[in-house]
A and B are shown apart, each in its own frame.
Chain A
Amino acid sequence: MAHAHSVKRHKGLMDWLTTVDHKKIAILYLVAGGLFFGIGGIEALMIRVQLAKPMNDFVTAQQFNELITMHGTTMIFLGVMPIIFALMNAVVPLQIGARDVAFPFLNSLGFWTFLFGGLLLNLSWVMGGAPDAGWTSYTPLSSSTYSTTHGVDFYTIGLQIAGLGTLIGGINFLATIITMRAPGMSFMRMPMFTWTAFVTSAMILFAFPAVTVGLVLLTFDRILGANFFDVAQGGNPVLWQHIFWIFGHPEVYILILPAFGIISEVVSTFSRKRLFGYSSMVFATILIAFLGFMVWAHHMFTTGMGPVANALFSIATMLIAVPTGIKIFNWLFTMWGGQITFNTANLFAAGFIPTFVMGGVTGVMLASAPADYQYHDTYFVVAHFHYVIVGGLVLGLFAGLHYWWPKMFGRVLNEGLGKLEFWTFIIGFHLTFFIQHFLGLIGMQRRVFTYLPNQGFDLMNLISTIGAFLMGVGVIVFLINIAISFKQPKGVDGDVWKDGRTLEWAIPSPPPEYNFKQTPLVRGIDAFWKEKMAGNKEMTPAEPVGPIHMPSPTILPFVMSVGLFIAGLGFMFTNDDFGNSLLNFLFGNYIITGIGLAITFGSMLLRSLFDDHGWHVEPEELNDKGVKA
């Protein structure tokens, strides 16, 4: 990258390590996110096996704590977040008619820091024990007094690094959507998925710095002997809860908003109708994001904030049902009277709507503070958040993956297998979690590693476990479907669903490196549909054919992330006695940490000193399919 204009095209593995192409980064996010999703899924199945019968000893209590902690942490931070970023990377630049994201280098950096943070966190399994204080890592349970392994250190530092990657990704998408839109693509003409990507990125920007601070405080408490959460020295454990949830509650809206966007796209495309109430959808999205920041303390009703605070947060929480309800009705009205095609993507979207409503209803129930004293820390809560995260987000992600798979890979997923996947997954899902509402109501607490027989828990837990395995079957069918799809030749029609409405369907599948041969001119909402209805076969170009500037590939983001990984690992073991004077010297004096940071900041320096002038795709190299023929 240091040499201006002489572009090095890498092949094979080096291509993937150095790529700054948002479409390839999308695939990286999908593979890595899919991997962690699989790990989290296996952890979930182990949890369900342990709970399948009373007094089971499949795992020990300590192992169970590690499993539930890592299941939650992995699924949220390393599983679904990256898959959301995969779809955002694959789709958002295409939907706004851009050739690239605003910061290709940062895009790559965001991916690699996420990946190395995730690897660090999962390294804990083989390095002395995984984190065991729950995905919320409440103090004092997570303090060095009560959590004596390095597990929580892996949690704090791994999430710190992964969170940095997410923050970088968020800033990149905000800037991309603000500055890189094609001519005519005003904010109120943006496709709904792009809108939700925008709002989600804004929420990432405002929420992640809070958890950064929280994790720093916990790290300092555990490694430097600080007293933020140590009551004996004046610290305050509730401080952790506030900081965690000021981040944590917006985080769940960060997760669900992109799913709302996906559902809007899929429902509208396969109903052959414009999205009903587009402006109210935009308004509802922003309102949900705003309210999402105002309700964090509803996770803390039982900490004793007092009736006034509890009442305020109750009301604010219930208010969120209003914009969410607007969205639900808009999707229903979009389908109403439409020419609906129930293919796999639309089945997932249609399955999403009632399932998510059920999660929303239990959410309103939980929002009532007095009732929450009953539900708190029971399986009712577990059922609720799995209904919104799996029944909401994961169904949305499956819809999105089936919908945009041809765009990302140039191959269509098999419909028969897709339908099998949908039915096994959704039946398995309801079997697993619907019954958990009642388990909670009759008194089964969450996070217990086993239970006594004959309390009415036995059968319901068994049913729940059977459902979990059915969901596992659904995911395996999806993987088989993927494998089969790669046997097909690449290159389906650009507008593979025939009814594509937005700009990504106006270009070939998969799109060329530069996306658009000529930047398209946008003349309304659903820009491509509008052109098709006007009798045009392709978008009207907004510029003549000319050389296209591209950023150069670079290995630096990868190296920077490796540096952070080394620094984090070094810092974690500062106070350990290795029984080896050299190792003690290297770790105890922050030398390993220093080396890691030197690698990271050294790479930053290189990036600053050697300007990347990029390279150009010349007009004669452009194939004729830049704008759909």
Chain B
Amino acid sequence: MTNHDLNDGSAVKHRHRHEGPQKHIIAFVFSIILTLIAFATVAAGGVNIAFTVLLLLVMAVLQVLVQLGYWMHLKDKGHMMPILFMAGGFFVAGLAIIAALYWMWW
């Protein structure tokens, strides 16, 4: 995360607008905060279990959305097919998980 390494040399050779590291660092900090909230809630203990479960899941989903969107560029243009097929994958995965949670005997 040292900036001089990111800005040296070859970037001047061609005139494309390169995106800087800032937004990725923001995504990283955001991920760290979400992770810390999750771990801290569990470590502290004593919080209502249902609330904790919900909180943990929200933190996880938010973090995954941030990483898919920014680090894997799904929020960028021209990613309709990747979004479609990732969504499809998550949808079917969700079906399997719903089956596991609601239609198994125990």
A and B touch in the complex (CB under 8 A): yes
Measured CB to CB, the closest approach of chain B to A285, in angstroms, equals 15
Chain A residues with CB under 8 Å of B104's CB are 236, 238-239, 242
A178 in contact (CB, < 8 A) = yes
Contact B85 A202 (CB under 8 A): yes
Give the contacts of A286-308 with B (CB-CB under 8 A).
293-294, 296-297, 304-306
Chain A residues with CB under 8 Å of B105's CB are 236, 238, 304
Measured CB to CB, the closest approach of chain B to A72, in angstroms, equals 23
Contact A309 B103 (CB under 8 A): yes
B102 in contact (CB, < 8 A) = yes
Contact A297 B99 (CB under 8 A): yes
CA of A236 to CA of B96, assembled, Å: 15
B106 in contact (CB, < 8 A) = yes
Residue of A nearest to B105 (CB): A238
The one of B85, B96, B106 that contacts A246, using a Cβ cutoff of 8 Å: B96
The one of B81, B89, B103 that contacts A206, using a Cβ cutoff of 8 Å: B89
The one of A178, A202, A207, A242 that contacts B99, using a Cβ cutoff of 8 Å: A242
A238-B105, A304-B105 known; A202+B88 contact, CB < 8 A: yes
B53 in contact (CB, < 8 A) = no
A242-B100, A304-B105 known; A205+B85 contact, CB < 8 A: yes
Chain A residues with CB under 8 Å of B88's CB are 202, 205-206
Give 1 or 0 for each of A234-251: 1 = CB within 8 Å of chain B CB: 001011001100100000
B58 in contact (CB, < 8 A) = no
Contact B81 A178 (CB under 8 A): yes
Chain A residues with CB under 8 Å of B89's CB are 205-206
Contact B96 A206 (CB under 8 A): no
A321 in contact (CB, < 8 A) = no
B92 in contact (CB, < 8 A) = yes
CA of A239 to CA of B104, assembled, Å: 7
CA of A304 to CA of B103, assembled, Å: 9
A315 in contact (CB, < 8 A) = no
Chain B residues with CB under 8 Å of A238's CB are 104-105
CA of A243 to CA of B106, assembled, Å: 16
Measured CB to CB, the closest approach of chain B to A392, in angstroms, equals 24
A236-B105, A236-B106, A305-B103 known; A294+B95 contact, CB < 8 A: yes
A598 in contact (CB, < 8 A) = no
A328 in contact (CB, < 8 A) = no
Contact A210 B106 (CB under 8 A): no
Chain A residues with CB under 8 Å of B99's CB are 242, 246, 296-297
Query: Interface size bucket, A side?
Result: 20 to 34
Chain B residues with CB under 8 Å of A236's CB are 104-106
CA of A127 to CA of B87, assembled, Å: 43
CA of A174 to CA of B89, assembled, Å: 14
Contact B81 A246 (CB under 8 A): no
CA of A297 to CA of B99, assembled, Å: 9
Chain B residues with CB under 8 Å of A174's CB are 85
CA of A306 to CA of B103, assembled, Å: 8
Give the contacts of B9-25 with A (CB-CB under 8 A).
none
Contact B81 A210 (CB under 8 A): no
CA of A178 to CA of B85, assembled, Å: 12
Residue of B nearest to A243 (CB): B96
The one of B81, B85, B92 that contacts A293, using a Cβ cutoff of 8 Å: B92
Chain B residues with CB under 8 Å of A304's CB are 105
CA of A306 to CA of B102, assembled, Å: 10
Give the contacts of A197-247 with B (CB-CB under 8 A).
202, 205-207, 210, 236, 238-239, 242-243, 246
Give the contacts of B33-78 with A (CB-CB under 8 A).
none
CA of A239 to CA of B106, assembled, Å: 11
Chain A residues with CB under 8 Å of B92's CB are 206-207, 210, 246, 293
Contact B85 A242 (CB under 8 A): no
Contact A293 B95 (CB under 8 A): yes
CA of A36 to CA of B93, assembled, Å: 32
Chain A residues with CB under 8 Å of B103's CB are 242, 297, 305-306, 309
Measured CB to CB, the closest approach of chain B to A331, in angstroms, equals 28
CA of A202 to CA of B85, assembled, Å: 8
Give the contacts of A105-133 with B (CB-CB under 8 A).
none
CA of A305 to CA of B105, assembled, Å: 8
Residue of A nearest to B106 (CB): A236
CA of A242 to CA of B104, assembled, Å: 9
Measured CB to CB, the closest approach of chain B to A615, in angstroms, equals 30
List the interface of chain A (C-beta within 8 A of B): 174, 178, 202, 205-207, 210, 236, 238-239, 242-243, 246, 293-294, 296-297, 304-306, 309
17 contacts between A and B (CB under 8 A): A178-B81, A202-B85, A205-B88, A206-B89, A206-B92, A210-B96, A236-B105, A238-B105, A242-B96, A242-B99, A242-B104, A246-B95, A246-B96, A293-B92, A293-B95, A294-B95, A296-B99
Given pairs A238-B104, A243-B96, 7 additional interface contacts (CB within 8 A)? A174-B85, A202-B88, A210-B92, A210-B96, A242-B96, A242-B104, A294-B95
